[in-house]
Amino acid sequence: MDRELFETMRLELRRGTLVLAVLACLRTERYGYTLRQALAADGLEMEESTLYPLLRRLEGQGLLTSEWREEEKRKKRFYVLSPGGEAMLAALTEEWRGINASLERIL
């Protein structure tokens, strides 16, 4: 098997699922580091260089809100789903379940 091609396709497959995973994790307010930990604990490790641009993009799309707060003498940016993000998560979850069911039948 071509390892390089596999890695390219694996990353492509993960890209969309990471958006769904981040939205789902942000039903509970978190800052970047604790979000990365929560995702990793569930088997979805993500580099900071992937996570932070994704968070900024989702916030720019109106799916997240964020707030800077000081915690443990450090400023941290906390993220949580916006009402629009909650609606998007529900719609994407329904879509994911349909796709997943189809793929299970096909595979």
Query: With 90 as the cut, is the pLDDT of residue 25 above it?
Result: yes
Query: With 90 as the cut, is the pLDDT of residue 43 above it?
Result: yes
Q: What is the per-residue pLDDT for 72?
A: 81
pLDDT tens sequence across 77-106 = 999 999 999 999 999 999 999 999 999 999
State the distance between the two ends of the chain, measured CA to CA, in whole angstroms: 19
pLDDT tens sequence across 53-78 = 999 999 999 999 999 999 888 999 99
Helix segments in the chain, DSSP class H:
3-25, 32-41, 48-60, 83-106
Domain count, the chain: 1
Q: What is the per-residue pLDDT for 27?
A: 97
CATH number of the domain enclosing 44 = 1.10.10.10
Residue 77, domain extent: 3-106
Q: What is the per-residue pLDDT for 16?
A: 82
Residue range 15-26: mean pLDDT, rounded: 94
Joined together, the tokens standing for residue 35 give 């979000």
| Cα–Cα dist 56/40, whole Å | 20
Query: Given the structure tokens 């390892």, which residue do they identify?
Result: 3
Specify the amino acid at residue 92: L
